[in-house]
Amino acid sequence: MIMSPKVILLVSICLNAGLGIAYFISPQPTSPDSAEGSVAMRVSSSSKPEKKRAQAPQVVTNVIEPEFHWREVEAADYKEYIRKLRGIGCPEATIRDIIIADIDKLYEPRMVALREQPTYRPDQFWVSDMGSRSQKRDPEKAAQVAALYKERSELIKELLGVEESEMRKAFSSYEDTRDKQLAFLTQEQRDKIKELDKKFSEERSRIYAEAGGYIDSDTQKELADVRKKMLEGMKEFMTPQEIFDYDIRTSDTARNMKYELRGFNPSEEEFRALFAVKRAEEEARFSRMGERPTPEEMKAQQEASKLAQENLRATLGEERYKEVELAKDYSYRQLVAAAPYMGFDASAAARVSSLKTDAEKAANEVRRNRDLTPEQRNQALQDIRAASEAAVTKEIGEKGYKYYRQHGGYWFNNIAPRVTSTKAP
């Protein structure tokens, strides 16, 4: 078995701690002679030797501790190894640290040998790293790596009686947010969900590996089928409401919505209403994945979507519904996110968005006006752009305007290209 410096250090700590405890609990000598016998004499090479005085002969008794050998602790069999570590009084936490470190050293070389080599070359800065992300993985190697992870987890569970995920959590002080997410379920349901999640995560990983980074319609259909199978499994021990609550906490859809709604800051009730609409739209789309809907089906989908939007408007109220629609705009989200760092109030983002709408409307009216000459039209559009830029700068300041030009202010150029003045030679 490989013994790393870290392992040796940890067990040395155990031994030293034990010896220290033994020292402090054992009887200590109290006589002056004993105290003097423990002090080493330092004699300078330049000092004169003193005349020896007659002294009574002293008897020094040395207690020799038996020499410690690693062969007495380390054993080829991990169980015996753990037993002997406990035998010398090593704390359980330290034993777990030693065993985990040793097992990692045992498995890591085998895993490294199976991992795909990236095509990206850090030493060649001019070569795109797109190949490393789209490289098609070897399914057989991926399966072997997964098998090694499983084997390692089973070994840890057998030796230490704890799941590897729990062990890693203890080492890294990682807080298991998953348990908090699923607190609304019973422990039995949580355990079943974790098993389902593990099973279908492996299946999704296989699909992504075989796709090699190219997610076409066939791959999307495969992923949708995996989700459908997982939902069927959940129905065996969860109610429809529990499945919805699981989905709203853990799904990619929910995570994407949180990002998109940063400027909206929805309440729980609002988020639930928005999620229900979004999920219904996705389910309708995934149900016909790869198939062209009939005219009747398209009409039914449109009517269902319209009804869902009307229900959402009634739930949110007119003002909040407008804010939701506003949050779908990329430039608006960018401004809301940047407000704390650029020195303007987040509410200015809505006013800038309104300015954008007004400017685009005015520009369209100018383009439709057939009474204008090309020169007049171009000048009118330049005036709209200049007025819009001034108004936006007033709302968010010079620093905010410069940021906005690069992150969402593309619409200025859509109104009219920037005119750069050149001096005559």
In tens, the pLDDT along 110-121 reads 888 887 665 555
The residue extents of the domains of the chain are: 1-26+67-117+130-173, 175-250, 254-328, 337-415
Q: How sure is the predictor about 163, in pLDDT bands with cuts at 50, 70 and 90?
A: confident
Which contacts of 108-117 are long-range, i.e. CB under 8 A and separated by 24 or more positions?
110/148, 111/145, 111/148, 111/149, 114/141, 114/144, 114/145, 114/148, 115/141, 115/145, 116/141
How far is the CA of 135 from the CAs of 48, 114, 116, 138, 199, in angstroms? 82, 15, 9, 9, 24
pLDDT of residue 251: 85
What does the pLDDT look like over 189-230, one tens digit per residue?
998 998 888 888 888 888 887 777 677 878 888 888 888 899
pLDDT of residue 121: 56
Q: CA 206: distance to chain centroid?
A: 21
Please provide the distance, in angstroms rounded to a whole number, between the alpha carbons at the two ends of the chain.
81
| Whether residue 24 has pLDDT greater than 70 | no
Phi/psi at 215 (5° precision): -95, 95
| Whether residue 183 has pLDDT greater than 50 | yes
DSSP 65-91: PPPP-GGGT--SSHHHHHHHHHHTT--
Evaluate whether 1 touches 81 at the Cβ level (below 8 Å): yes
Q: How sure is the predictor about 41, in pLDDT bands with cuts at 50, 70 and 90?
A: very low
pLDDT of residue 288: 60
pLDDT of residue 169: 62
pLDDT of residue 124: 52
Range with lowest mean pLDDT among 11-15, 320-324, 376-380: 11-15
| Whether residue 37 has pLDDT greater than 60 | no
Q: Compute the distance between CA of residue 15 and CA of residue 305 in angstroms, rounded to an integer.
A: 71
Mean pLDDT, to the nearest integer, of 302-322? 86
- Count CA atoms within 13 Å of residue 177 on its CB side: 2
Which contacts of 27-36 are long-range, i.e. CB under 8 A and separated by 24 or more positions?
33/58
- Using N-to-C axis directions, what is the helix angle for 348-368 and 330-342, rounded to 10°? 140
| Whether residue 378 has pLDDT greater than 50 | yes
Stronger pLDDT, 236 or 105, i.e. the higher one = 236
What does the pLDDT look like over 316-369, one tens digit per residue?
899 889 888 888 888 888 888 888 888 898 889 989 999 999 999 999 999 999
pTM reported for the whole predicted model: 0.54
Stronger pLDDT, 351 or 164, i.e. the higher one = 351
- Residue 46 has a CB neighbour count (10 Å cut-off) of 5
Residue type, 263: G
What does the pLDDT look like over 232-280, one tens digit per residue?
999 999 999 999 999 898 888 888 888 888 778 788 898 999 998 888 8
Give percent of the chain above pLDDT 90.
19
